[in-house]
Chains A and B, each alone.
Chain A
Amino acid sequence: MRVLKSVTAGSLESSDVLVTITPVSEDHIEYDIESIVIKQYGKRIRQITEEMAESAGITGARIHVQDRGALECTLRARLETAIERSIVC
């Protein structure tokens, strides 16, 4: 499923995460992960982001995650919303 438009979900408030998805011309997915707790949770954030993008089956996208210390459930909810928004016309 190809990403159709640039979207965001979330915020840069403390304990939240801002997910930005933008279409790219290639078929692959680019990941850009930023987090204020990158040392402690960086690997997990990347793993969840990749898992969710792959299971949604999206292609041709750059996913930028700006984490401000979000819980895992918050990250998952923001990713799900951003992916849904990115594929709706």
Chain B
Amino acid sequence: MYSSCSLRDCNRKKYCVLSLQTVLAARELRWKEEELLAKSLAQEFSGHRLAFAFCTLRMPASLRISGPYKEIVVQLRDALAEALMEKAFPIIASGQKQYDDGPSAWLASCCDEEILKRMAISIEEGHVLGALGDIDVTDAEARLLSRRDMGFEPRKCLVCDNEAMVCSAGQCHSLLDIAAHIEAIISDSMALRSSKSL
């Protein structure tokens, strides 16, 4: 149950409903904490080129705080950590936190931020759960790197083939429609996992 919901509400509804105020306050808090974290680790490891990856869920807030999806950010962060270790980039710190609008997992690496961003995009596009995560990458000054600036295509919508930002800003799809597509992605990932374990 979400901390500000009543038990009665949670028993009645499939998904929690968050106020706009709660979502906006959580986003601003996370943004400020990420900036502080990046700057404090950059100070602690001065002399190293650091880059940071922050993973959140790419879905409406009422779905983000639903139990079944919480572990996805950790799985995606861990997949990124594995990719970094394969290339011998050291990970100097990592963590996770539950905010009022959903979970977040992060890592800091001694790595060029553009390399980390490319790896994050590979996870978002290649991992079986990648479509459900948003991996923001910043440099040591907490400056965000964008796909567009690096010449990558914008992300596609979870439901249709249009640009995700256009669908999201225009609220083009219903919550139930989005939830159905998320469930399908999770089912596919579970099927893939069980086929690998056979």
Partners in one complex: yes
Find out whether the CB atom of A74 lies under 8 angstroms from the CB atom of B24. Answer: yes
* Chain B positions 163 through 177: 1 when the CB is less than 8 Å from some CB of chain A, otherwise 0: 011101111000000
Scan A8-32; emit 1 where CB is below 8 A from any B CB, else 0.
Answer: 0111111110000000000000000
A-B pair count, CB < 8 Å, reads 54
Q: Given the complex, which residues of A lie within 8 Å of B20, measured CB to CB?
A: 73-74, 77
How far is A14 from B166 in the complex, measured between Cα atoms in Å?
11
Contact at B171–A40, with CB atoms within 8 Å? no
Residue B109 at the chain A interface, CB threshold 8 Å: no
Specify which chain B residues have a CB less than 8 angstroms from the CB of A69 in the assembled complex: 164-166, 168-169
* Bound-complex Cα distance A5 to B27 (A): 23
Q: Does A36 contact B (CB under 8 A)?
A: yes
In contact, A36 and B165 (Cβ under 8 angstroms) = yes
Interface of A is mostly: loop
A73 to B20, CA, bound (A): 8
A58 within 8 A of partner (CB): no
Name the B residues within 8 Å of A74 (CB-CB). 20, 24
| B148 in the interface (beta carbon within 8 A) | yes
Render B137-151 as a binary contact track against A, CB cut-off 8 A, 1 for contact: 000000010001000
Query: With A14-B58, A36-B148 in contact, do A41 and B24 touch (Cβ < 8 Å)?
Result: no
- What distance in Å separates the Cβ of A84 from its nearest Cβ neighbour in chain B? 13
10 chain-A/chain-B pairs, Cβ below 8 angstroms: A11-B27, A11-B30, A11-B31, A13-B56, A13-B136, A14-B165, A36-B148, A71-B171, A73-B20, A74-B20
